[in-house]
A and B are shown apart, each in its own frame.
Chain A
Amino acid sequence: MGRPRPRVAKGVADLPPSGIRRFFELVERIPEAISLGIGEPDFTTPWRAREAAIYSLERGHTHYTPSRGIKELRYALADYLERRFAVSYDPDQELLITIGASEAIDLAVRTILEPGDAVLIPEPCFVSYAPCTILAGGTPVSVRTVAEHGFQLQAHDLAAAHVKGGRAVLMCYPNNPTGAVMDRPGLEAVVALAEERDLLIISDEVYAELRYDGDHLPVAAIPGARERTILVGGFSKAWAMTGWRLGFAAGPAEIVEAMTRVHSYTTMCPPTMAQEAALEALRTCDDEVARMRREYNRRRRVIVGRLNEMGLDCFEPRGAFYAFPSIARTGLTSEQFAERLLVEEQVAVVPGTAFGASGEGFVRCSYATSLPLIEEAMVRMARFVGTVTG
């Protein structure tokens, strides 16, 4: 008998652990630290939605649902997308309820990629895009975005990064970790390029409700985009429903039907009680969403103001709940800055490099934390920056 084969497949063994993971372990050792490293709302899910889930359990709704999700939720979602963002989808053929936006991303790349196809991914970005692409047999190609352009994706950068075999763009605006949003002209240029090069667009719009300067504009609303766009969204951020694991995908019937097939084999269907909670959230929780958005906006003004005051250049994030200041003038790398800030002042921020190499020189500060904690964290951070730049 020869040497036993490795038990973990090479593709998986080669996947690097998330940069967040290592930092999480460091922070866990300092329980008294104030964490600005959390990418989920500090609010609890609105009571109406929680109560709907309790009622669902009381009635014994504990069985499988259709793979694509319960009909009422799909219809309510179609209404919502039309009402809020003026994009229309057929709830019977063009919508799929998924286990978080994360599953929708995974399904999207698995459904559209042939082995070796490239996916263009604007960076810095959420941690799962490149790994999902690799697991689906694709090749991630990062496209750098920069503070000078408000971290908006520039069509000419996309064109420059486009390689043979490019199949799709996977983008996220409002953006985690930068808080950037895309304006209409920028989106139009990206869509024009996608049409020219026959690229599909996977658009993660999970932060769509968290815009502070007007309404969100979905990529699919740009003329020519709808037929090549998979719109991904979820209930985690706006409705504070991270733990329920519920998201959705919307797109052309051909693609969504195919995604539904993959989804039906891998997960059967999303959790029943979570779907009933989400239905209630869509129907009756607009005021709660507005209340949370108002509070995030207050925090945003405070944190961005304080970061700039302490001498860390922070462009104005217009969406999501993150500030992404430059730490260049401290002379430290992102990792050094985050580690020293944690050890010396017990404040946790996430090094920008956790979101791709182009995050070097930045740190992500989440303002999904109460104002008193943010204010205390800013006092400590200013002291730290003062010490370092002395």
Chain B
Amino acid sequence: MEEILLLLQEDARLTAAQAAERLGLPEQEVKQRIAQLEADKVITRYKAVINWEKAGVEHVYGFIEVRVSPQRGLGFDAIAARIMEFPEVHSLYLMSGTYDLMVVVQGKSMKDVAYFVAERLAPLDHVLSTATHFVLKPYKVDGDIMAERTETKRLSVTP
């Protein structure tokens, strides 16, 4: 995997100069490479990882299993396109197994999420059934462990 991508995935705020120093490459080359990765949409966007609970902002996530009937010639893509445009939809996946789509819905309250499912999602044409699961506590999100961890102690000087 490309080293620049691994670096930026860990810390998107690294400047080209800092990345260049870590990679042992000329700054200009790194600048061009990042610009190219952005132009190619390999890097789509830079964002911060936020612990909203700590920020005092209530977020409720529902994981909604949705069974749909695929459409001739369009498969699941047409119905997925309709669902993903709702701003409440945080993530959307086509799944193997007993249901078809996993819709992750973000709301301010459980009621919010429930209403969205009842009023927006379930009534859509081709949606056969939904099953809603609420997140009670996030432990690890997108590779980041949410709990704060104590630093381990090392001796200050060792051979």
Residue positions of A touching B, CB distance < 8 A:
18, 20, 23-24, 27-28, 33, 35, 37-40, 42, 44, 126-128, 176, 294, 298-299, 301-302, 305, 348, 350, 354, 371
Contacts and interface: CB of A to CB of B under 8 A. Distances in A.
A229 to B, nearest CB: 24
A127 B157 CA distance: 13
A38 B21 contact: no
A44 B150 CA distance: 12
Given A24-B156, A38-B158, A126-B159, 10 more contacts: A20-B158, A23-B157, A24-B157, A37-B156, A38-B157, A39-B159, A44-B152, A305-B24, A348-B157, A371-B22
Given A301-B21, A371-B22, A39 B158 contact: yes
B95 interface: no
- The 3 A-B residue pairs whose C-beta atoms are closest, nearest first, are A37-B157, A298-B22, A24-B157
Contacts of B21: 301-302, 305
Contacts of B72: none
Interface size class of B (residues with CB under 8 A): 10 to 19
A80 to B, nearest CB: 24
Interface in B144-159: 152, 154-159
Given A44-B152, A294-B6, A37 B23 contact: no
Contacts, number: 52
Nearest to B6: A294
A301 B157 contact: no
6 contacts: A24-B158, A37-B156, A40-B154, A128-B159, A294-B3, A371-B22
B24 A38 contact: no
Interface in B89-132: none
Contact of A18 (B24, B152, B159): B159
Contacts of A350: 157
Contact of B22 (A35, A40, A301): A301
B37 interface: no
B154 A301 contact: no
B7 interface: yes
A28 B6 contact: no
Given A42-B154, A44-B152, A294-B6, A301 B23 contact: yes
A126 B159 CA distance: 7
A20 B23 contact: no
